[in-house]
A = this chain, B = another copy of it.
């Protein structure tokens, strides 16, 4: 492009490149929403692998493969940072992704753990997540790495993701489902609770009601967006001007657009992607 008087200014730096966000489906939209809120000048390219969602029950090998397929697709665009907005993928693939990409790569687990340590006053922290995330102990490990004397209670809440996806989030029935899911925590001492699944921020108010006002609720979505802000700032990569966000899904684009428009509170268009042409990428990292 040519510069023509003052009309066109080409920014040769990475600053106005985009932020890639990948997730097994729609859950990572809570992270995207927080990035939009906290960093309104940034542009997001979101990829939801809705066709193969959920990742929770899949093998680590499979989750890693799918994660790299999404990344390979997004790499055709000028990425300046990548968020893995999925707890399962963060738990099994984050370090490998960080080792092969030259841009900052963030997961959702460490930001949540860090924020919980900041918030807790008594060092007693609860974590809720899907069965896969809780089984991986990723939050417990991250918390203990940062702080040797934290006590951690973990609880899998398999009924909460269906509750969110059914869109039935403000009924009395929804309250009952949340209260039932959290019942094992009623007698546990804790002053801070990590929402260890990207779907849960949509239930934050209900969870807060059930747990009581004395328990601080930590949304990994909020914290990951804030940590992205820190990393972009310290890398000199903050954008000056937003371009159009884009949304890609492997499943129905219509369904994705409907959910995304609802959650983000704005009209969203989604593009359907066939990942088959990108699977060769996998061989680059998993050959042998």
**A residues whose Cβ falls under 8 Å from a Cβ of B:** 38-41, 104, 110-111, 114-115, 117-118, 145-149, 222, 225-227, 229-231, 233-234, 238
Judge whether A226 and B40 touch: CB under 8 Å: no
Given the known inter-chain contacts A231-B234, A234-B104, A234-B231, please indicate yes or no for A226 contacting B147, CB distance below 8 A.
no
Judge whether B118 and A38 touch: CB under 8 Å: yes
Please measure, in the bound complex, the distance between the C-alpha atom of A231 and the C-alpha atom of B104, giving whole angstroms. 12
Q: Which residues of B contact A145 (CB under 8 A)?
A: 238
7 pairs of A and B residues whose beta carbons are closest in the complex: A118-B226, A230-B230, A114-B229, A227-B230, A38-B117, A38-B118, A118-B222
Q: Which residues of B contact A222 (CB under 8 A)?
A: 118
Judge whether A110 and B233 touch: CB under 8 Å: yes
Q: Which residues of B contact A238 (CB under 8 A)?
A: 145-146
Given the known inter-chain contacts A40-B148, A147-B40, A148-B40, please indicate yes or no for A118 contacting B231, CB distance below 8 A.
no
Please measure, in the bound complex, the distance between the C-alpha atom of A76 and the C-alpha atom of B84, giving whole angstroms. 40
Given the known inter-chain contacts A40-B148, A234-B231, please indicate yes or no for A226 contacting B115, CB distance below 8 A.
yes
